[in-house]
Amino acid sequence: MQVFKLYFKLLRSNKGILIMYFAIFLTVALVISNAQSVDGNNNQEAMKEEILTITIIDEDQKSFGNGLKEYFSSGNDIVDMEYDEQKILDKLYWRKLDYALVIPKGFEESLLDEDVKDMTLKCMKVPGYFDASFFESELSLYTSKLTSLLKAGYSVEDAQKQLLDLQDEQTKVELATFVNANQNDKSTTFLAYVPYLFITLGMNGIGLILLTFNAPLVRARMECSSTTMKTRIAGLVGGILLYGMLLMVTVIVVVAIVSKGRIFMDVRFPYFLINMFGMLLFSLSLGFFTGTIAKNQDAVNGLVNVLSIGLCFLGGVFVPYEFFGDAVLKVAKFVPTYWYAVTNTKIGAMTEMTSGLANDIFWQVGLVLGYALVIFSVTIVIIANRRKQTA
């Protein structure tokens, strides 16, 4: 009991660093889950049509100009302006205008008569502005189709009418959802960041305490005492497990707040817990390893930063693994945080549990637990070797 109590007294003396990492996690997870996630069927709203403000100045005053205006007035805002270069530039600068198109005098004639030298449409736009480039490519497509129709014998009016009719035949585009609308909900996005919390607080909360416990002088004093080694280890393990449970409970409380309590009614909740539990045990074993090999507090801090950020980036916690290239993905598969992230995504997307999905989840959590077991075993070997050398 003495060692168990001491664990929490020492933890209390390190509360500053623990609160700091918790605050970093909470800020990042909440901000990103709010920014990235969408609720329910809002996926469609994420892809909405852009309306451009365009002016078409027709110096040619032929039917081509009117047809062009009619064609692009659908889905765009066509404004009338006199040709005044300074005024147009001002409007472009202040983004009151996205594109200015000037049809030069004699343009239609150049389209119809092969003997007349080709003329080009004059344009003014903000360089590098994506929407304007999009309009430009639409315009290029329009003139290309129009030229083809004219060559086929259509008059300018008929050709433009044909193109207008074609424009009416729209294809309905729906944004594909990978599985269901749950996938990017706040809880799933928030829980994706849990490995960072578990790794940083696991490594600090265990590493720093073990460092103090393993200091040769106090360890020798404890070994001289009449408290058996079993009791001391039990106290320490009890402290570590309770600390781990507190971490887990903290995350559940925050998720409950984020999801406004809905997470408890969610069919996915038990599977989220299983996945988190795997990651928790991995983080605790990492903390055990850190506390055993680190020589001082600076070494613990260094290991925490390198491993937490490294594992979270490479595992697809900070950057979704869908964005990884093949080579990075191959490496990521060796990292436990990757399997946590994959499982979290799968659980997030699930509407009902199938045997295939259950199998995937348990295998992947098992893999993370395997990593935990390997790190724990390596640490035990290090401790055993050290004891031999000391003796």
With vertex at residue 74, the alpha carbon angle to CA 71 and CA 77, rounded to the nearest 5 degrees, is: 105
Q: Give the one residue of 212, 214, 297, 301 binding other proteins; rule: CB under 8 A.
A: 212
As measured in angstroms, the least distance from the Cβ of 391 to other proteins is 4
Q: Give the one residue of 164, 218, 306, 331 binding other proteins; rule: CB under 8 A.
A: 218
How far does the chain reach from its first CA to its final CA, in angstroms? 28
As measured in angstroms, the least distance from the Cβ of 290 to other proteins is 18
Round to whole Å and give the CA distance between 295 and 301.
11
- CB within 8 Å of 103: residues ≥ 6 apart: 56, 57, 58, 59, 60, 64, 65, 68, 121
Nearer to other proteins, 291 or 316 (CB): 291
As measured in angstroms, the least distance from the Cβ of 234 to other proteins is 14
State yes or no: residue 391 binds other proteins (CB under 8 A): yes
**β 52-58/76-79 pair status:** parallel
With vertex at residue 45, the alpha carbon angle to CA 39 and CA 50, rounded to the nearest 5 degrees, is: 155
Quote the tokens at residue 181.
């609308």
As measured in angstroms, the least distance from the Cβ of 374 to other proteins is 29
Q: Which of residues 1-20 bind other proteins (CB under 8 A)?
A: 1-2, 6, 9-10, 13-14
State yes or no: residue 296 binds other proteins (CB under 8 A): no
Q: Give the one residue of 173, 175, 176, 217 binding other proteins; rule: CB under 8 A.
A: 217
- Binding segment toward other proteins, per CB under 8 A, in 218-226, 271-279, 303-311, 347-355: 218-226
As measured in angstroms, the least distance from the Cβ of 239 to other proteins is 14
Distances (CA, A) of 257 to 39, 79, 260, 264, 268: 15, 49, 5, 11, 16
Q: Which of residues 225-254 bind other proteins (CB under 8 A)?
A: 225-229
Burial class (CB in 10 A: 0-12, 13-18, 19+), 354: exposed
State yes or no: residue 35 binds other proteins (CB under 8 A): no
Site string for other proteins, 156-195 (x = CB under 8 A): ----------------------------------------
Nearer to other proteins, 228 or 355 (CB): 228
The answer to whether 159 and 150 are in contact (CB under 8 A) is yes
With vertex at residue 139, the alpha carbon angle to CA 138 and CA 144, rounded to the nearest 5 degrees, is: 100
Nearer to other proteins, 10 or 309 (CB): 10
Round to whole Å and give the CA distance between 186 and 274.
19
- Binding segment toward other proteins, per CB under 8 A, in 20-28, 216-224, 263-271, 291-299: 216-224
The identity of residue 187, as a single letter, is S
Which residue ranges make up the site for other proteins (CB under 8 A)?
1-2, 6, 9-10, 13-14, 212, 215, 217-218, 220-229, 390-391
